[in-house]
Amino acid sequence: MAAYDNVSALMPVSILGIYLHAVFVSVTLGFPFVISAFLYKWARTKDNDYYVAARIATGVLAVNFALGAITGTLVEFGLVQAWPGSIYAISTVAFTPLVLELAAFIGEIVFLIAFIVTLRWVRMWVSIGLMAGYFVFAAFSGMLITMVNSWLNVPWGTGPLASVLYPFLPEYGPAAFQIPVLVTVKLALVDSLLTVGTASQILQNPEIAKAVGLSLSDPYIALSSPYALASVLHNVTAAVIIGIALAAAAFSYKHFRTGDQKYVKLLKSFLPILLVLLIIQPIVFGDNMGKAVAAFMPTKFAMMEGAETTIQNPLLAFLAYGDPSRPIQGFDELRRACGKHGDETIADIAYEVVPDYRPGPSGSIRLSDLCLQDLSKAEKRLPTIHAAYYTKIAAGVIALVSVVALSGSVHNLGLISSVVRIIEKRLGGKNLLFLLALLTLLGSILASALGWYVREVGRKPWTVYGLLYPEELVTPVSFSTPVIIAFTLLFAAMALGGLYGMYLVAVKPLEFVKLLRRGAGVEE
């Protein structure tokens, strides 16, 4: 079937786009802290090293911002072009976040360019204020996009709909969506998929749009999801951590190569921020995120915990539910829940919900079969998700331990510093500093990358959890594989070229400016 082929071809491109975007978003959100720390120290000490470092980091941030913008554009265009079924979500539940995101995006640009062009010409506190403004809008943008993504994970505002199809799912907030309308859309997609082989093209038909009509009564519903709130804090903090850890690794590397203490001095100015964030992230934000998954996404939680069957684990149950006696629901129990459907078919439900329902090809599908089939698809991913999740936890622990040791190496942290000194004697100060910074960076990246993997793959087989599959949203265009490969290569090449450009900006001295200097009248 065409839709399934398209999903196979386009999913890797979308994944690449999202991951590359995440790389640049991390620098976007992390570097403002690094640059502000440099400027603060420069204002306090008048040491020019801080200014030079701030200037170089600003150059890297600017190139990175451009790359973030194009990868963001790709993700956005990709969403509507590769997955045009998502246009229905964009024009309903994502409408408000995306409109607000425009203000956030333009705010980012205004503050960043204002910062760049006025740096050195205005008072340092003004520059730090401009950088703070930039961060606020960048974080706001991240928050809004995360909220849209969160709706895909937990479709807040669809009330009991998903739980009617899958009895093991909870209700998702108030029924802000018109349930009969949503059911009509779903049935139209499924029927089109079964008859034509693709589904999303139904949105091109003005008559269908008219027939569907008003779908959502509260356009602000995506902003009130408790799952979204937990996700925002967790994701934005993770991005900030990676951005700062990248800067820490870069300066540690320069110190490792040159032995110049200047780089340790620069590192010390922003390291405390990284330490605090890496402590808060698992204890507060990670914990909230885990609780949200346990509450709203039982299949994902079972996959994360490797619960093929229901298990008793008081510690885990306490962390997840706040109740040590509660069992961790496994796939066996989820399957039992599917049995509640009995012999009911989709048509049985549709007759109850949709006025004037006329059964299509989907009408005869038994709900229990559908429920069990989707659970099997989810369960197939259990070993991978389980391994990814616990590798992520381990990576996070490595990052945390490393940053604590790194801080103990450059600051006086009592007992921790004493222990680090002992290790330093064995490994050498330069080596250890670089090793710890590298482990902090790799641990942070691995934790985030795997965390995102668990978040996205863990909601499969659905794109909108419990409601819509990828094949219902994918483009009906039967494109040729070489076109997609060429596009992917172009995108990857530009991203890699951009990363290399950031490296050049960071490390290359000005070598080819003789002509320019003559032009500016500086040199004869």
Partner 1 sequence: MNTSELFSFNLLGLATLVHIAFVNITIGTGWISAMARYLAWRRSDPSLEIMARRVFKILIVHELFSGVWGTIITVILAGLFPTLLAIATDTLFYPILIALSAIIIRIPSIALFWYTWGKVKPSIHVVIGFIMAVSGFAVPMGFRYIFAEITSPYGIAAALEGSRDLARLQVFLNPIYPPLILHTVAGAMSVGGFITASFFAIRGNTSPKFLWIGLWHGVLFLALQPILGLWYLLSLSEKAPLLYNNILGGVQATYNLLPMFTGKLVVIASLAALSLVIWRRVKRGLGEVTRLALGLGPLAILVVILGEYINDAGRFPYLVLLGDKGLPPLVFSNLYIEIPYMLVIAVLGVLIIFIVGFMTTAYYALNKRFLADLPEI
Of 301-309, 351-359, 401-409, 497-505, the window that binds partner 1 (rule: CB under 8 A) is 497-505
Distance CA 12, CA 487 (A): 12
CB 367 within 8 A of CB 165: yes
Residue 118 binds partner 1 (CB under 8 A): yes
Q: What distances in angstroms separate CA 1 from CA 7, 121, 384, one per listed residue?
A: 10, 62, 27
Residue 443 binds partner 1 (CB under 8 A): no
Residue in 250, 248, 239 with CA at minimum distance from that of residue 269: 248
Touching partner 1, residues 444-473 (CB under 8 A) = none
Residue 356 binds partner 1 (CB under 8 A): no
Q: How far is the CB of 491 from partner 1 (least distance, A)?
A: 6
Distance CA 179, CA 66 (A): 41
Kindly report the backbone phi and psi dihedral angles of residue 21, in degrees, each rounded to the nearest multiple of 5, phi listed first. Answer: -60, -40
Residue 512 binds partner 1 (CB under 8 A): yes
Residue in 92, 80, 223, 69 with CA at minimum distance from that of residue 150: 223
Pick from 42, 88, 331, 452 the residue near partner 1 by CB under 8 A: 88
Touching partner 1, residues 96-115 (CB under 8 A) = 96, 98-103, 105-107, 109-110, 113-114
Touching partner 1, residues 120-159 (CB under 8 A) = 121
Q: How far is the CB of 264 from partner 1 (least distance, A)?
A: 20
Kindly report the backbone phi and psi dihedral angles of residue 385, in degrees, each rounded to the nearest multiple of 5, phi listed first. Answer: -65, -40
Distance CA 351, CA 356 (A): 8
- Provide the 3-class DSSP secondary structure of residue 174: strand
Touching partner 1, residues 245-264 (CB under 8 A) = none
Residue 422 binds partner 1 (CB under 8 A): no
Distance CA 292, CA 308 (A): 20
Q: What distances in angstroms separate CA 498 from CA 199, 268, 273, 290, 509, one per listed residue?
A: 37, 28, 27, 35, 18
Pick from 1, 284, 483, 485 the residue near partner 1 by CB under 8 A: 483
Residue closer to partner 1 by CB (options 427, 486) is 486
Q: How far is the CB of 113 from partner 1 (least distance, A)?
A: 7
Residue 67 binds partner 1 (CB under 8 A): yes
How many of the other CB atoms lie within 10 Å of CB of 470? 21
Residue 383 binds partner 1 (CB under 8 A): no
Touching partner 1, residues 33-52 (CB under 8 A) = 52
Residue 518 binds partner 1 (CB under 8 A): yes
Q: How far is the CB of 185 from partner 1 (least distance, A)?
A: 9
Touching partner 1, residues 186-215 (CB under 8 A) = 200-201, 203-206, 209-210, 212-215
How many of the other CB atoms lie within 10 Å of CB of 245? 29
Q: How far is the CB of 34 from partner 1 (least distance, A)?
A: 16
